[in-house]
Amino acid sequence: MKNDQDGSRPRDPRHGYANPTMPEICPVLGRGVYFAVFGFARDGKRFPGGNQYSRFLKVLKSVLSGELMQRTLVVGRYVAGLPFDSPKFAALPPFFDVQSDQEADRLELRQRIDVAMKAVFPGVPASLRMICQFGLASILFHKSFLQQSLPTNQLLFATPLFSTRNEAQFEWLRRRVVCRNFQEHDPISPSGIPPHMGIMVALTDYKELMGLKKDWLLILRKLSNSTLTDQL
């Protein structure tokens, strides 16, 4: 609902898609930068201003209600600018992931994320916490892009994210940000994926697997002083 900015009365699921291939138009990165710079309103609203409901056409409520919203999730990916003719169309947003299966690593990652969230997004409402966590991951993932694209006096560079005192902490987190298509056991899964895109992703994964197997066979043949043609 347009008059439910704090997310306390959700009715339908909200889907906002990241575009890691074009960070200059990425909604998730933009939200992360906005909240890191401007913080949060005391009234819990995501953005300043009043009379939100009246600023939108009431007909949108009926158009976007019910099954129509769920059937057109793919439109969100188009709107985000994701390449519709590439497996990257199904890409997940940048997110934090452990580098091993050790429970100690998972615990340390959660603790470091909590510390970073308090530093970058102090006072974040519970309804916006996950949005800001994805925003933090996106900022770290696109850190080089931001430094190269934004002017040096940009307010973002005055936040704890770019403070030399916190450089080691955020670099540790940055190395644990991944951005890829869905893999088994990932903490999040994609939505808005049409059937043909799933086939395209599977074929791409199969091609990469065959390439790895070919490299492995080439190494074995070389070790055995034999030859292997490129037509394998």
**Residue partners of 115: CB distance under 8 A and separation at least 6:** 169
Contact 112, 175 (CB under 8 A): no
**Do 169 and 141 belong to one domain?**
yes
Residue 79 domain-assigned? yes
Identify the pLDDT of residue 195.
Answer: 78
Q: Nearest-CA neighbor of 109 among 162, 179, 29, 177? A: 177
Identify the three-state secondary structure at position 125: coil
User: Domain span at residue 205?
Assistant: 194-231
Residue 1 domain-assigned? no
Summarised one tens digit per residue, pLDDT across range 75-105 is: 778 778 888 888 888 889 999 999 888 899 9
Residue 146 domain-assigned? yes
- Flag residues of the chain having pLDDT under 70: 1-14, 44-45, 47-73, 225-232
How crowded is the C-beta side of 38, counted as CA atoms within 13 Å? 13
**Do 161 and 82 belong to one domain?**
yes
Where residue 201 falls (left for φ over 0; alpha for ψ -120 to 50; beta otherwise) is alpha
Summarised one tens digit per residue, pLDDT across range 214-231 is: 878 878 777 776 555 555
Mean pLDDT across the chain, nearest whole number? 82
Identify the pLDDT of residue 162.
Answer: 94
